[in-house]
Structure 1
Amino acid sequence: MLRKAHVLAALFATALSAFPAGAAMSTGQFVARANTLRAQGFAALLSPDFQVLKDEARVARQQLRAENDARVKAGKRPIACVPDGETIGIEEMLDELARLPAADQRRPLKDGYARVLSRRFPC
């Protein structure tokens, strides 16, 4: 269950990439932009786009957390069952997002997160 806010927060605390403020980002856009900055190494942290991506990731995490809470309150199965203390590092999450099928790449970033977490931590 996504009951640990810090688990999801840690997933993208150091995410790399960018997208215009206020725009919804697809999973594929997120991965493409992240990989562009990822290739720059630590220099990407100095990019003005870095904060924009962090904000996009934060919003996606909040949406996913809210969706999961609503599912649980409605008596439905949680999106994922993340064991206490488990995390997915940013590199691994980006790699898993990149491996999602094309249909999932077109979906919102929140849905990409959900797909990766549900595969990694099924209930």
Structure 2
Amino acid sequence: MTVGTFLTRANALRYQGIGAMLSPDFQVLREEARQAKNQLKAENAARLAAHKPALACVPEGESIGIEEMLDGLAALPAADKRRPLKDGYGKVLARRFPCR
């Protein structure tokens, strides 16, 4: 799923409030986000194993909330919104948790 598609579907749920959890789309988007997170972790581990710089340096025990993630994805340029969710999520994490 692209960043743009994810945002379109997530924003439709966002305005439903607590009722969004009852929507079948909620579970689909939740699974997409989980997969993107896992793919990003695997990619980051592979980069580190190959002695390449990490994409983002998230401190142990830290995370990014759903609202912050959605806002970060929405702030990406249009070209990035055509990329896979994993890539957009990586850019949001890199902006929030840059490697120093």
The TM-score with structure 2 as length reference comes to 0.94
CA RMSD of aligned residues (A): 0.9
* Aligned position for 2:43: 67
Gaps of 5+ in 2: none
* Aligned position for 1:103: 79
Q: CA deviation at 1:33?
A: 0.7
Counterparts of 1:121 and 1:83, CA distance in 2? 8
Aligned mate of 1:50, from 12, 26, 40: 26
Between the aligned residues of both structures, percent identity stands at: 69
Q: Are positions 1:122 and 2:98 aligned together?
A: yes
Q: Are positions 1:31 and 2:1 aligned together?
A: no
Counterparts of 1:28 and 1:37, CA distance in 2? 14
Q: Are positions 1:113 and 2:89 aligned together?
A: yes
Hey, which of these two has a bigger chunk of helix by percent? 2
Please tell me the residue identity of whatever aligns with 1:34: A
Counterparts of 1:85 and 1:59, CA distance in 2? 19
Question: After the TM superposition, which segments of 4 or more aligned residues of structure 1 sit over 3 Å from their partners?
Answer: none
Please tell me the residue identity of whatever aligns with 1:118: A
Q: CA deviation at 1:48?
A: 1.3
The CA deviation string for residues 62-98 of structure 1, in whole angstroms up to 9 with x for no partner, is 1111111110000001110112232211111101100
Q: CA deviation at 1:51?
A: 1.1
Counterparts of 1:60 and 1:88, CA distance in 2? 14
* Aligned position for 2:57: 81
Q: CA deviation at 1:59?
A: 1.3
For these two proteins, the number of residue pairs brought into alignment is 99
Please tell me the residue identity of whatever aligns with 1:119: R
Counterparts of 2:64 and 2:32, CA distance in 1? 18
* Aligned position for 2:16: 40
Counterparts of 1:40 and 1:53, CA distance in 2? 15
The TM-score with structure 1 as length reference comes to 0.77
Gaps of 5+ in 1: 1-24
